[in-house]
C-alpha cells in the first residue's frame, strides 16, 4: 500500500527536474549566439562612409586656388586657340592655336579628375580679363591678330610656367604635386614655341612695314634730264 505514493513522488521529481532544465536553457543565451553578437557589434559601429568633400580639407588654401585658377586658365587657352585657328593670318599661328586646343583640353580633363577626387568644385567659365582679351582678339584678323595673340600667349605661358614650378616644388598634397610636375614640361614647351612663333610674327611684320615704307618713298617723278635713275628696293 505504500509503494504507489513512492512511485508518484519519484515521477514528480523527475518531471520537475526536466522543467527546471528547460527553463534554464531558455533564459541562458547559447555560446554561438553570444559570440555572433559580439562579433557583429564592432562591424556595425565601424561601417561609416566618409562625408563628401572630406578630402578637400586636406588641401591648403593655395592648393585649392591653384586648381581653380588652372581650370579657368585652361578653358581660356582652349577658347583663344579655337579663335586663332579661325582668324590667324599665319599658318604657324594657326598651328599653335590648334596645339593649345589639343593640349589644354587634355590637361583640363586630367584636372577635372583631380578636382573631383579632392572635392573641389571647378569654375564653369573664364575670368573677366580673359573675356576682355577674347573680345579684343575676336575683332582682329590676319597679321594684327597674329601679333596680339602671340604676345598674349607668351605672357600667359610665362605666368603659367612660374605657377606650376612653384606648385611642383612646394605642394604638400601628393596628387596636386604630381599634376603640377607632370604638366609643367608641356607648358615649358608651349612657352618656347610661343616665343619662337612670336619672333616669326614680329619679323614678318617688320618686313611688311619695310616694304610699305620703301614703296611709298619711291618717287614717281621722272628723273631730271642728264641724271641716271636711282635704284630702289
Q: Does position 34 have pLDDT exceeding 50, yes or no?
A: no
Q: Domain count of the chain?
A: 1
Q: Which CATH number does the domain housing residue 160 bear?
A: 1.20.1260.10
- Helix %, strand %, coil % of the chain (to 5): 80, 0, 20
Tens-place pLDDT, residues 147-156: 999 999 999 9
* Cα 76 from chain centre: 13
Would 126 be classed as within a structural domain?
Answer: yes
DSSP 126: -
Would 9 be classed as within a structural domain?
Answer: no
Residues 6+ apart with CB under 8 A from 79: 126, 130, 134
- How many other CB atoms are found less than 10 A from the CB of residue 109? 10
Would 107 be classed as within a structural domain?
Answer: yes
At 17, the pLDDT band (50, 70, 90 cuts) reads low
Would 17 be classed as within a structural domain?
Answer: no
Would 13 be classed as within a structural domain?
Answer: no
Give the cell for residue 39.
562579433
Q: Which residues form the domain of 116?
A: 58-215
**Residue labelled with grid coordinates 532544465:** 21
Give the cell for residue 117.
577626387
Would 169 be classed as within a structural domain?
Answer: yes
Q: Does position 184 have pLDDT exceeding 70, yes or no?
A: yes
- Rounded to whole angstroms, the Cα distance separating 50 from 67 reads 23
DSSP 89: S
At 207, the pLDDT band (50, 70, 90 cuts) reads confident
Would 133 be classed as within a structural domain?
Answer: yes
Residues 6+ apart with CB under 8 A from 202: 147
Would 69 be classed as within a structural domain?
Answer: yes
Whether pTM > 0.75 for this model: the answer is no
Tens-place pLDDT, residues 74-113: 999 999 999 999 999 999 999 999 999 999 999 999 999 9
> What pLDDT score does 205 carry?
83
Task: State the Rg of the chain over Cα.
Answer: 41
Amino acid at each position: 500500500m505504500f509503494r504507489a505514493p513512492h512511485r508518484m513522488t519519484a515521477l514528480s521529481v523527475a518531471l520537475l527536474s526536466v522543467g527546471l532544465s528547460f527553463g534554464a536553457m531558455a533564459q541562458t543565451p547559447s555560446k554561438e549566439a553570444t559570440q555572433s553578437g559580439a562579433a557583429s557589434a564592432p562591424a556595425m559601429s565601424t561601417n561609416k562612409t566618409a562625408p563628401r568633400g572630406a578630402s578637400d580639407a586636406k588641401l591648403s588654401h593655395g592648393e585649392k586656388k591653384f586648381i581653380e585658377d588652372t581650370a579657368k586658365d585652361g578653358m581660356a587657352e582652349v577658347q583663344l586657340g579655337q579663335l586663332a585657328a579661325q582668324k590667324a593670318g599665319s599658318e604657324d599661328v594657326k598651328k599653335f592655336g590648334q596645339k593649345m586646343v589639343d593640349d589644354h583640353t587634355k590637361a583640363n580633363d586630367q584636372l577635372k579628375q583631380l578636382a573631383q577626387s579632392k572635392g573641389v568644385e571647378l569654375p564653369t567659365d573664364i575670368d573677366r580679363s580673359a573675356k576682355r582679351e577674347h573680345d579684343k582678339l575676336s575683332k582682329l584678323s590676319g597679321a594684327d591678330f597674329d601679333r596680339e595673340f602671340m604676345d598674349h600667349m607668351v605672357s600667359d605661358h610665362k605666368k603659367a610656367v612660374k605657377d606650376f614650378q612653384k606648385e611642383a616644388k612646394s605642394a604638400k598634397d601628393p596628387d596636386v604635386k604630381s599634376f603640377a610636375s607632370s604638366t609643367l614640361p608641356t607648358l615649358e614647351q608651349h612657352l618656347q614655341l610661343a616665343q619662337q612663333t612670336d619672333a616669326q610674327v614680329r619679323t614678318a611684320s617688320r618686313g611688311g612695314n619695310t616694304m610699305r615704307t620703301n614703296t611709298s618713298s619711291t618717287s614717281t617723278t621722272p628723273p631730271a634730264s642728264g641724271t641716271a635713275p636711282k635704284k630702289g628696293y
